[in-house]
Structure 1
């Protein structure tokens, strides 16, 4: 198991930095690479994407805690907004988590790619002047409704929702750095719900590696979590020293690379 963990330590470094810097739980880093390494570990093709999603959620549980602690120290987590957002998010994760077990690896990969493309669009879309000047929208109906959609999509693509939550909160009028901090905080409950789903739906599936807990691959979980928790605070510190414009450009560039990689891996 130790040898297997060593493969995932460098991946945890990248996931941790991205989690802190961009408000991601690390899923956008972890899932694409897991689809490759899990195949090498002998996971059946039809179960690879499901195990990648479940393992991603489990790692986000640890990464997001480290990231949100660092962002909260900078007073960048909007807790009142988060509490309005969470009921819809959790409902979305559990409802849509059921459908993950019904979809093929190919369908899940395309879901992941489409979600990334939509996130890029949200970040690049130019705001109208009326939107730029309006106060932040903290309506519980709006936040709960969007939360349900984000939770549902997160369940299908194995991420903490940061790639959707950050653009959404920014679109609703919240400052980019606070959108990132709040997104990081939302990542933990999303990931925890997703990990529970992964264990529940995968616990009796045959043909999975010996070191698995349902659809969670334990060597990857431990290897990624160790380094991601150490490097997430470093990413969070960088997020508060880099300008919002540069943050957006980094975010969009990174998402573009992930989109291309996922589409190519689906063929």
Structure 2
């Protein structure tokens, strides 16, 4: 188990930095690489995406806690917005997370690929920067409604929802730093609900690899969690210092490579 765990330490570094830097939970980094390593480890084909998604959620629980702590110190978490956003998120995660166990590995791969395309679009599209937070007090039902959609999609593709939450909050008029900080905070309950779903639905599943806890692969969870928690605060500091446009373009290039890899692996 120790040897397997060490393989995932570098992955946690990337996931942690991305979590703090762009408000992403790290799932866009973790899921694609897990599909490769799990396949190389001989995991049953139909379980690969389910385990990748479940393990991604479990690691995001740790990454997001570290990230939100760093962002909260800089007062960039909008807790009032988060409270109105979370009820819909949690309902969405549990409602659509129920169906993950019944979807094929190929379909889940295509869903993830579609989400990657959406994320690339949000990263490269031009939008006017919000320098000062002047967002209206968005109604509870409106935010919860958006939260339901984000939570449901997150449950299907194993992400913390940052690629959707950050653009949404920015569109509503919140400045980017606060959108990223609040997205990091929202990632924890999304990931926790997704991880519970993964354990619940995968607990008695046949053909799981050794050291699995439901659809969570423990060597990957431990290895990624250790380094992602250490590096998420570094990403959060960079988010307040580096130009976001250049960073988003670099990440968009990475996602483009991931998109091709996911499409190829689905066949």
The TM tier, using the shorter chain, reads over 0.9
What is the distance in 2 between the residues matched to 1:70 and 1:185?
10
Residue of structure 1 in register with 2:87 after alignment: 87
What is the distance in 1 between the residues matched to 2:133 and 2:56?
36
- Greater shift, 242-251 or 43-52, is seen at 242-251
Residue of structure 1 in register with 2:209 after alignment: 209
Q: How many residues align?
A: 266
Gaps of 5+ in 1: none
Q: CA deviation at 1:118?
A: 1.9
1:116/1:163 contact within 8 Å kept: no
What is the distance in 2 between the residues matched to 1:236 and 1:265?
32
2:132/2:175 contact within 8 Å kept: no
Residue of structure 1 in register with 2:6 after alignment: 6
1:119/1:167 contact within 8 Å kept: no
Residue of structure 1 in register with 2:97 after alignment: 97
Residue of structure 2 in register with 1:249 after alignment: 249
The runs of 4+ residues in structure 1 deviating greater than 6 Å are: 131-134
TM superposition score normalised by structure 2: 0.94
Residue of structure 1 in register with 2:157 after alignment: 157
What CA RMSD, in Å, does the superposition of the two structures yield over aligned residues? Answer: 2.0
Cα distance change of structure 1 residues 123 and 7 upon mapping to structure 2, 3 Å threshold: closer
SS in 2 for 1:222: helix
Q: CA deviation at 1:52?
A: 0.3
Aligned 1:2-41 pairs, distance under 5 A: 2-41=2-41
1:74 aligned onto 2:74: yes
Residue of structure 2 in register with 1:136 after alignment: 135
2:87/2:144 contact within 8 Å kept: yes
Q: CA deviation at 1:135?
A: 4.1
1:114 aligned onto 2:131: no
What is the distance in 2 between the residues matched to 1:105 and 1:95?
19
SS in 1 for 2:262: helix
Residue of structure 2 in register with 1:218 after alignment: 218
